[in-house]
Amino acid sequence: MREIRKVLIANRGEIALRIIRACRELGVKPVTVYSDVDAGSLPVRLSDSSYALGGSEPSESYLNIEKIIKIARLSGVDAVHPGYGFLSENPLFAKRCEEEGIIFIGPSSRTLELAGNKVECRRVVSSAGVPTVPGVDRPVELEEALSFADKVGYPVMLKAVYGGGGRGIRVVNNPEELRQAYSIAAAEAGTAFGRTALYVEKIIKPARHIEFQILADRSGNVVHLHERECSIQRRFQKLVEISPSPALDEELRATMGEVAVAAARAINYMNAGTIEFLLDRERRLYFIEVNARLQVEHPVTEMRTGIDIVKQQILLAGGEALPFSQDEIRPIGAAIECRINAEDPLSDFAPSTGRVIRLHIPNGPGVRVDTALYEGMELSAFYDSLIAKLVCWGVSFEEARRRCLRALNEMRIEGIATTAPLHKAVLEDRDFISGNLDTDFIERRKILEKVKKQIEEEKNSVQLYAVAAAIAYFRNNMQRPTRQEQTRERRRIVGARYYDLI
């Protein structure tokens, strides 16, 4: 066991702020790094000390391993927390921390290498009895992908072997599409992950996307913190996460939890992570991948279990044992997370940049907002568009849903476009209310069309209101007497009263 007294946070934005708060509550000193763009950010202001990485591009700053290692040595930290994204699943970064005697708050570099190689991870967990999506457990060339697709039938999915986050993925419906998509997916994978290798899987449709949060200590103890359903997605990017999943009964939940723990043990997992599954119409489960890091949607689980996952990450990395058994984890109520992105729904969700001129963060019972926004903040185009996470808890799913809608209506982020209208449309949809979810929910329910119509109607209402207000102002001012007329009228009235008195 090694005490962690000082942590370098190798990230930015809301997740850096989230880690700072966990450090404070543990009595650990937080140290941050920042790019030129983030020099005035809240994480920089609220950490004990902060060090400039320089540059604005991620490759110059938050993806520069040697710069971060140098700062870790200079600042004398005991550990590095990578957050999510950037270097969080990079085995080379974890390896450099290990070589420098710095604790990496996450899995070992060996586990990261295995989890990052999707086909090798599939092979290992499959040998442990974990069911996987039918596919080829090795990188494939185009001809082999075509042969597999002919055998199992279209549609199939091309996926980056070293991918994640929805990048390097293409759905194809016939041989011609596969030939066209192969080079595109390989190029995207090369740009995003530095490696172009692809593999191919059969598509499970309709399907629900369900993941289990796990925690594991160095002694081999592994528990799961129950499930989150992430079926509501757009272009393989998660939009809304809920827990518990309306698709699971207690028997299936227990089975999936056991399978998740088995998958984690198969790859010698340590620290916090997520085991992801697809669930088909016949309620058969299929392992997809391991997310070997803290998830964006971890607050959903925290709201139901009361377990601070980030604090547990730090304690587990220091060598402490899990403080609870599986039977002691008893989630209560329901939770929903909406990922608020700085994107314009009317412009095909293009990133929105600019200055935040007005900001109101909703609160009240059962409402949590994780964000690093502040009024006057300038949003750049250099980083991910996620700007806030709205998480609402309720005794029931319906209470959580209504709270989330109330909070969305209270939220004000002006100066930039956001995806808040999309979340309102989802939460008001009858299939969402009834729990009829799948990974095609957004397209099947025509949510984007509803959002665009709603925004146009709101803009028209605002414009009509502005015109009506202008007409009223004009009429009032046209009918208002001049100052000279007002003076003459006052004299007439006063004079009349005077003569009445005498």
DSSP, residue by residue, 30-65: EEEEE-STTTT-HHHHHSSEEEE---SSGGGTTT-H
Selection from 236, 330, 340, 250 nearest residue 278 by Cα: 236
Domain boundary among 105, 125, 152: 105
Are residue 151 and residue 76 in the same domain, yes or no?
A: no
Helix (H, G, I), strand (E, B) or coil at 407: helix
Name the strand (E) or helix (H) holding 7.
strand 6-9
Give CA–CA dist 295/164, Å, rounded.
12
Give CA–CA dist 319/429, Å, rounded.
46
Partners of residue 371 on adjacent β-strands: 388
pLDDT at position 498: 39
Backbone φ and ψ for 370, nearest 5 degrees, come out as -100, 115
pLDDT at position 456: 80
pLDDT at position 194: 82
Give CA–CA dist 381/352, Å, rounded.
8
**Is 301 contained in some domain?**
yes
Are residue 146 and residue 61 in the same domain, yes or no?
A: no
Please give the structure tokens belonging to residue 347. Answer: 């412009």
Are residue 343 and residue 422 in the same domain, yes or no?
A: yes
Q: Which segments within 65-147 are labelled E, that is strand?
A: 79-81, 103-104
Residue 351: give its domain's CATH number: 3.30.470.20
Give CA–CA dist 381/141, Å, rounded.
35
Domain boundaries, position 433? 333-445
Q: Is 423 a residue whose pLDDT tops 70?
A: yes
Bridge-based pairing of strands 285-291 and 271-280 is: antiparallel
Selection from 171, 80, 118, 168 nearest residue 291 by Cα: 118
Are residue 343 and residue 437 in the same domain, yes or no?
A: yes
Give CA–CA dist 381/140, Å, rounded.
34
Q: What is the CA radius of gyration of the chain?
A: 27
Eight-class DSSP state of 281: T
Query: Comparing 6-10, 192-196, 211-215, 488-492, which segment has the lowest mean pLDDT?
Result: 488-492
pLDDT band at 413 (very low <50, low <70, confident <90, very high): very high
Are 314 and 105 a contacting pair, CB within 8 Å? yes
Residue 26: give its domain's CATH number: 3.40.50.20
pLDDT at position 478: 58
Are residue 99 and residue 156 in the same domain, yes or no?
A: no
Name the strand (E) or helix (H) holding 269.
none
**Is 45 contained in some domain?**
yes
Cα 221 to Cα 189, 215, 351: the distances in Å are 35, 8, 42
Q: Is 293 a catalytic residue?
A: yes
pLDDT at position 491: 62
Give the active site residue among 18, 170, 228, 293. Answer: 293
| pLDDT averaged over every residue in the chain | 92
Q: What is the pTM of this model?
A: 0.89
Helix (H, G, I), strand (E, B) or coil at 202: strand
**Is 14 contained in some domain?**
yes
For range 62-78, the mean pLDDT = 98
pLDDT tens, position by position, 40-52: 999 999 999 999 9
**Is 15 contained in some domain?**
yes
pLDDT tens, position by position, 274-289: 999 999 999 999 999 9
Q: Is 420 a residue whose pLDDT tops 90?
A: yes
Angle (CA) 52-55-60 rounded to 5° is 100
Domain boundary among 105, 124, 156: 105
More confident residue, 501 or 157: 157
Domain boundary among 295, 318, 341: 318
Are residue 314 and residue 346 in the same domain, yes or no?
A: no
Are residue 217 and residue 314 in the same domain, yes or no?
A: yes
Are residue 293 and residue 243 in the same domain, yes or no?
A: yes
Are residue 419 and residue 350 in the same domain, yes or no?
A: yes
Are residue 434 and residue 369 in the same domain, yes or no?
A: yes
Q: In percent, how much of the chain has pLDDT > 70?
A: 91
Are residue 198 and residue 216 in the same domain, yes or no?
A: no
Selection from 364, 451, 342 nearest residue 410 by Cα: 364
Residue 149: give its domain's CATH number: 3.30.1490.20
**Is 145 contained in some domain?**
yes
**Is 460 contained in some domain?**
no
**Is 55 contained in some domain?**
yes
Cα 259 to Cα 241, 252, 292, 302, 335: the distances in Å are 21, 11, 16, 21, 23
Are 128 and 263 a contacting pair, CB within 8 Å? yes
| Most distant CA atoms of the chain, gap in Å | 113
Q: Is 500 a residue whose pLDDT tops 50?
A: no
Task: Count how many residues are written for the chain.
Answer: 502
Q: Is 501 a residue whose pLDDT tops 60?
A: no
What is the residue whose two structure tokens read 């009964």? Answer: 249
Secondary structure in 3-state letters for 411-479:
CEEECCCCCHHHHHHHHHCHHHHHCCCCCCHHHHCCHHHHHHHHHHHHHHHHHHHHHHHHHHHHHHHHH
pLDDT at position 458: 74
pLDDT at position 471: 66
Q: In percent, how much of the chain has pLDDT > 90?
A: 84
User: In total, how many domains does the chain have?
Assistant: 4
- Residue 325: how many CA atoms within 13 Å on its side-chain side? 1
**Is 190 contained in some domain?**
yes
Are residue 348 and residue 301 in the same domain, yes or no?
A: no
pLDDT tens, position by position, 443-498: 999 999 999 888 887 776 655 555 655 665 566 665 556 666 666 666 665 554 43
Query: Comparing 62-76, 289-303, 317-331, 469-483, which segment has the lowest mean pLDDT?
Result: 469-483
